[in-house]
């Protein structure tokens, strides 16, 4: 993603549930670039339909902008804060985790899992 930004390409990260992938979207065409869950190495360019099925994404969550769309820089920051919140949660720092989940949700309000974590609906 950083390399694409340096080249001036319209790319960012996108979410499929908690899974993160790179997404190129120029307004006419969108491509997903999978660089972390590749099996035998290299990368894949799966369709949105693949991610909807693999991660059980509802049509409503995709339409709402929660998943499978390029995130803005502000939303990326929210996602990264959400990752830090998860680290706090996993290490038993409950107060810090809850504060970070709330901040992550304010920065990335359409991500439904961050929203659930921010209001304490998920464990």
Same domain, 80 and 57: no
What pTM did the predictor assign?
0.83
Does the pLDDT at position 112 exceed 80? Answer: yes
Per the CB < 8 A criterion, the answer to whether 101 and 82 are in contact is yes
Q: List strands edge to edge, sheet with 19-25.
A: 11-16, 19-25, 30-33
Q: What percent of the chain has pLDDT over 70?
A: 93
Ranges assigned E (strand) in the chain:
11-16, 19-25, 30-33
Does residue 14 lie in a domain region?
A: yes
Residue 123 burial (CB count, 10 A)? 6
> Residue 98 sits in which domain range?
73-118
Residue 123's pLDDT is what?
Answer: 47
Higher pLDDT, 28 or 42: 28
Same domain, 77 and 107: yes
pLDDT in tens, 74-97: 999 999 999 999 999 999 999 999
- Residues with Cβ within 8 Å of 101's Cβ and at least 6 positions away in sequence, in order, are 82, 85, 114, 117, 118
Under DSSP, the state recorded for 71 is P
Q: How many domains does the chain have?
A: 2
């Amino acid at each position: 993603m950083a390399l694409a930004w340096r080249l001036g390409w319209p790319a960012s990260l996108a979410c499929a549930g908690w899974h993160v992938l790179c997404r190129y979207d120029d307004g006419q065409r969108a491509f997903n670039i999978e660089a972390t869950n590749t099996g035998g190495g290299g990368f894949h360019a799966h369709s949105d339909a693949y991610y909807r099925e693999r991660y059980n994404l509802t049509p409503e969550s995709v339409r709402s902008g929660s998943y499978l769309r390029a995130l803005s820089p502000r939303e990326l920051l929210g996602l990264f804060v959400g990752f830090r919140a998860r680290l706090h949660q996993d290490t038993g720092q409950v107060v810090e985790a809850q504060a970070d989940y709330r901040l992550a949700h304010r920065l990335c309000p359409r991500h439904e899992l961050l929203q659930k974590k921010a209001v304490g609906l998920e464990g």
